[in-house]
Every structure is written in C-alpha cells, then in structure tokens.
Amino acid sequence: MDLDRRTLLTGLAALPLIGLVGCQDRHNPEPESTMDATATNLLFIMVDDLNLAIGCYGHLLARTPNLDRLAARGTRFTRAFCPYPLCGPSRAAVLTGVRPEYLGMANNEVCWRERRPHIATLPELARASGFASVRFGKVLHHGLSSGQSYDPAAEGADQPHTFTDPPSWEQEWGGASRVHECQACGPTQVIDGRPFGGTALHTVRAIDGRVLPDAEVADRAVAWLADPARKARRFVCSVGFHKPHVPLIAPERWWAQYDQVPDATIDFSMGPTAGQPADLPPGVLKVARLHRGATPEQRRHLYRGYLACVSWMDEQLGRVLDALDGSGLSASTLVAFVGDHGYHTGEQAQWDKMMLLDPSLRVPLLFAGPGVARGATANALVESTDVAPTLAGRLGLAPVHRCAGRDLGPWLADPAGLPDAPAFAWLHAAGREGWTVRTATHRYGVMRRDEQPARAYLFDLRCDPHESRNAIADHDQSGVIADLDAQLRARYADDAPVAPV
C-alpha cells in the first residue's frame, strides 16, 4: 500500500477538528557553545523488544551489570520513544533519522529504499566517507528490494523480509535466528502461539547457550574488534542482539537466577497488570484476551523468562564492550545503545508490542565515549529518530537528506539543559491505524479499527503513570486535548521536516 499523506490523515480527519496550531519545533535552539565531533569510530548496538527492565533504569530485579557500567561511562536517556512499535519501521527510522510514515514503512516486508531512494542510512554515510562499515546480527529489518541478492543461509530464504542492506555495510553477518534457536534443547513451555513463532509466548530453558544466535553475534563482533587492522581505518561496527525478543530462550543458569526470586516479588515488579483500561477505542490494545490466556503462574514464568533473556543479552554485550576496551580504541570510539521498541510484560494485561502506549514505545537509549558526560542522566523527552543525526554529527558526517530528529550532540557533555520535545508515533497494521503524541505530562492518541469511526484517548501521566484510565471525557482536560490534537494534526499533515534537500 502506498502510505501517502491522504492515507495517513484519513483517521485524523474522522474526528471533529478541535483546533489547529503549529506543532512544537523539534529543532530546538542549541546551546551557545557546541562541541566538535571528537569520535573517531562508532560501536552501534541495537536490541530487540527491550523495555526498561534494566538495572541502571531503576529495575530492582534485572541483573544487567554491563548496561549498568555503560551507563556509568556515559549518558542515559530516561524518556526516549520510538516512532513505530515494530522492528522494521522503527529500525529504519533510527538509522536514517526519518519517520516511518515518510519512508512508507508500516511492516517488516516493505523495502523503503524503493520508495525513498535518496535516503541514506548512517552506516551508508560512514561507508561513503571511507569508514569500514560492518554488521553482526539484526540491525535493519525490511523487505528485499528489486533484484537484490542475499545469502539465503544467513538471512532465511523462507521469509519475505531480511536483515541485509548491501549499501550500508561492506561486511555483514547474521539473521537466521529461528534456525539457531530451534537447536536449543531444554525444558519448554508454549503458552500461546506456535513454537518458535515470531510472537509466540514460548519459553526454553536452554542447556547450551552457545547455540543461541546472540552468542555467535558476540563471537563475530569480538573477533572483528580484536583484529589489529581496526587501528588502520575509522569504523562503524553495528551489532544487533535478538533477545529479549520472543520466544524467550535463555541459558538455564540465567533462569535459575530468577527462580530464586519469590513470587510475591515478581508480582510487585510486574506492577499493576490485573486488567485493561476501560473505554479505550477499539484497536488501542492489540489483544482483547487478558494476558493472552496466561494464568498468574504462567505470567510469572514469562516474566522470569524475559528477565533471563535480558541478562543473557547483557552478558553478550559485556563481551563486546570488553573487546572494545582490549583493542585500545575505546577512548576514541563512541558507543551508542538503543532499543528498537518496547514490549508489554503484563501492562494493560498485554504480552506483546504493536500498541501506541508507553510499554510498546519507550526505549532505552545510552551514549558513551569521547565528549559524552560520564554517569549523567538526561530526563528530557527525545525520539529515536534523534539517534542518526546525533551520531552523524559526532562522526563529522553530513546527511544527504533532512532528518526529522534533532542532533542531541550539543547536549551530550551536559544534558541538563536539553529541552523536551513531544514524541510522536504511528501504527498501521491488521485493520488498526492510529497516531499518538507523548509529552512530559500526557499521552493523547487517535485510533481507528476497520471501518469504525476514529476515537481519541488520553492518559494524564501525572496521576496515571501506568496508563490505566482513559481521561478523554474529563472536562478539565479540554485545553490539553485541544493542544495535543492540534500538535498531532500538524505533525501528520506536513512531510516538510523530512523532505529531500
């Protein structure tokens, strides 16, 4: 489907026009003294389906010593949001700085390069400037372009999508995660979905973690970083870890760690998960069935499995960070860590993504390295479309297209002055189409399902941080609704921020 401006606005136009004012400009004024790009190299790390179940983000149970030490070495963004709650569109936005609706990308099967051939990824820009650009694991996720060749053994020939992107990387490996995961042996539970399915609530307590794809991703990244040849040429090394994406497969020793946590503590950590908010527009929640049918005992098992997968991923991250330190290049290498989107682990009685709510849209984002404040916290709202322009600026690369995101580089040395900017997201899938804007105090959204009229929803995050009550009918919220409705219309009525240069 050609997702043009008319298509995007159909659902918004179905609502009464509350008021139209200019959307807040994402290109906020920079501090007077900006910093020069001082990074020689980039280690870029992206993780699949990772929410904020991370020690340095305040999670009391998650054991993530390597993410914690990365945060201690750099700056952690506490309120970062993705523009689309699915792998392919979100990853393309991260690496191009362009919003998915402009890329025409609403699923993992579309090849955005055919629709927007003038758009270049950050690794592609680096490669054109003489950098060595390599990929290990899942970084991009999109359809095959016309005539594009790829390695079916590495990428999964039976799938309508791939992780390869020849313009971005001169060397790339990884993608057939299902092939590797099927080799995992150990106690198994299938709670919902088909075994090893892409959305299955399926768990395996793996006897041997060496068969899992993230182990090989780390092996290859470690070997590449340890090669003395790395000192001869600037590089962008992109690493993609698959876990904690379902199925929840992690080595037995990590499951055992979380088995020791009492059930009552697990329940407390999951937070309020008993039910779904009343009077939400149809389609806001992906699954009407509470917890996809999982019993309380099964939900605790799933939560332990999610945490085990996070810790397993963190262990592999530590190996890569150690390799960077051992190479002698860490002082000149910028490290960026970002999640592609979030994941519901019981919030709103959901176990999935693809919802325009905080658990699906909020992502971890960390930077560390030259010119980045150590042990700092940035609490301003940012979008993952800010990543590409930020990294391009730090590496001294000039984008060939305008980015929707803003360059956060001027604030990396002192994030205290970084201003908020509203975070927007879009969804178009399986008869559901919606738009949302998130501010520091509210989330406002519009959702349409099938041929039903579009309806709005509102959460006042000051008194409802878990998005448990739709406040759209509250009379005292009318001014907020009018303002956020206007911002939403302005954002999706104008493609100008990402028009070609």
**Which 3 state secondary structure label does DSSP give 136?**
strand
Longest CA pairwise span in the chain (Å): 65
Above 80 in pLDDT, residue 350? yes
Specify which of 11-20, 102-111, 137-146, 372-381 reaches the highest per-range mean pLDDT.
Answer: 372-381
Least confidently predicted of 9-23, 311-325, 471-485 = 9-23
Tell me phi and psi for residue 180, to 5 degrees: -65, -45
**Which 3 state secondary structure label does DSSP give 373?**
coil
Q: How much is the pTM?
A: 0.90
| pLDDT computed for residue 85 by the predictor | 97
| pLDDT computed for residue 282 by the predictor | 93
| pLDDT computed for residue 148 by the predictor | 52
> Do the bridges between strand 41-47 and strand 235-241 make them parallel or antiparallel, or are there none, so unpaired?
parallel
Name the residue range of residue 406's domain.
39-413
Above 70 in pLDDT, residue 31? no
Of the pLDDT bands very low, low, confident and very high (cuts 50, 70, 90), residue 500 is very low
pLDDT in tens, 68-92: 999 999 999 999 999 999 999 999 9
Give the separation between CA 348 and CA 275, rounded to whole angstroms: 6
pLDDT in tens, 377-394: 999 999 999 999 999 999
Exposure string (b/e) for 295-314, b if CB count within 10 Å is 16 or more?
eeebbbbbbbbbbbbbbbbb
| pLDDT computed for residue 206 by the predictor | 93
CA distances from 79 to 366, 377, 423 (A): 11, 10, 10
Is pLDDT larger for residue 36 or for residue 58?
Answer: 58
Which CATH number fits the domain that encloses residue 393?
3.40.720.10
Half-sphere exposure of 412 (CA within 13 A, CB side): 31
| pLDDT computed for residue 287 by the predictor | 87
Residue 221: CB atoms within 10 A of its CB come to 29
| pLDDT computed for residue 35 by the predictor | 38
Least confidently predicted of 148-157, 186-195, 401-410, 432-441 = 148-157
Least confidently predicted of 50-64, 138-152, 311-325, 441-455 = 138-152
Structure letter (DSSP) for residue 59:
-
> Do the bridges between strand 171-173 and strand 132-137 make them parallel or antiparallel, or are there none, so unpaired?
parallel
Give the separation between CA 307 and CA 173, rounded to whole angstroms: 27
Tokens of 42: 């980039």
Q: What is the mean pLDDT of residues 294-319?
A: 97
Give the separation between CA 424 and CA 469, rounded to whole angstroms: 20
Give the separation between CA 32 and CA 27, rounded to whole angstroms: 14
Residue with tokens 């993992």: 108
Is pLDDT larger for residue 1 or for residue 128?
Answer: 128
Q: What is the mean pLDDT of residues 344-349?
A: 94
Q: What share of the chain is helix, strand, coil (3-state, %, to 5)?
A: 35, 20, 45
| pLDDT computed for residue 487 by the predictor | 94
74 lies in some domain: yes
How far from the centroid of its chain's Cα atoms is residue 434's Cα?
18
pLDDT in tens, 163-221: 778 889 999 887 655 557 778 889 999 999 888 888 899 999 999 888 888 999 999 99
Q: What is the 3-state secondary structure (H, E, C) of 93-135?
A: HHHHCCCHHHHCCCCCCCCHHHHCCCCCCHHHHHHHCCCEEEE
Tokens of 467: 């998005």
| pLDDT computed for residue 30 by the predictor | 45
Tokens of 205: 């307590």
407 lies in some domain: yes
Closest CA to 435 of 141, 100, 109, 113: 100
Give the separation between CA 288 and CA 234, rounded to whole angstroms: 50
* Percentage of the chain exceeding pLDDT 70: 85
22 lies in some domain: no
CA distances from 1 to 166, 345, 419 (A): 25, 31, 37
224 lies in some domain: yes
pLDDT in tens, 371-381: 999 999 999 99
| pLDDT computed for residue 494 by the predictor | 53
Give the separation between CA 425 and CA 82, rounded to whole angstroms: 7
Above 70 in pLDDT, residue 471? yes
Q: What rounded mean pLDDT belongs to the chain? A: 86
Q: Which residues, at least 6 apart from 405, have a Cβ–Cβ distance to it below 8 Å?
A: 26, 97, 383, 384, 385, 386, 387, 388, 389, 390
pLDDT in tens, 356-369: 999 999 999 999 99
Above 60 in pLDDT, residue 21? no
Q: How many structural domains are present in the chain?
A: 1
- As a dihedral over the C-alpha atoms of residue 149, residue 428, residue 351, residue 378, rounded to 10 degrees, the angle is 90
| pLDDT computed for residue 176 by the predictor | 53
Amino acid present at 495: D
Q: What is the 3-state secondary structure (H, E, C) of 70-101?
A: HHHHEEEEEEEECCCCCHHHHHHHHHHCCCHH
- As a dihedral over the C-alpha atoms of residue 111, residue 117, residue 118, residue 124, rounded to 10 degrees, the angle is 60
Q: Which residues, at least 6 apart from 446, have a Cβ–Cβ distance to it below 8 Å?
A: 11, 12, 15, 281, 434, 435, 436, 454, 455, 456, 457, 488
Above 70 in pLDDT, residue 300? yes
232 lies in some domain: yes
User: Can you list the alpha helix ranges (DSSP code H) found in 39-78?
Assistant: 65-73
pLDDT in tens, 269-283: 987 776 788 889 999
Q: What is the mean pLDDT of residues 246-260?
A: 96
Closest CA to 164 of 132, 125, 131, 121: 121
| pLDDT computed for residue 38 by the predictor | 61
344 lies in some domain: yes
DSSP assignment of 392-432 equals HHHHT---SS--SS---GGGSS-GGGPPP--EEEEEEETTE
| pLDDT computed for residue 467 by the predictor | 95
CA distances from 441 to 294, 409, 424, 444, 497 (A): 32, 25, 14, 10, 25
Tokens of 148: 């594009």
240 lies in some domain: yes
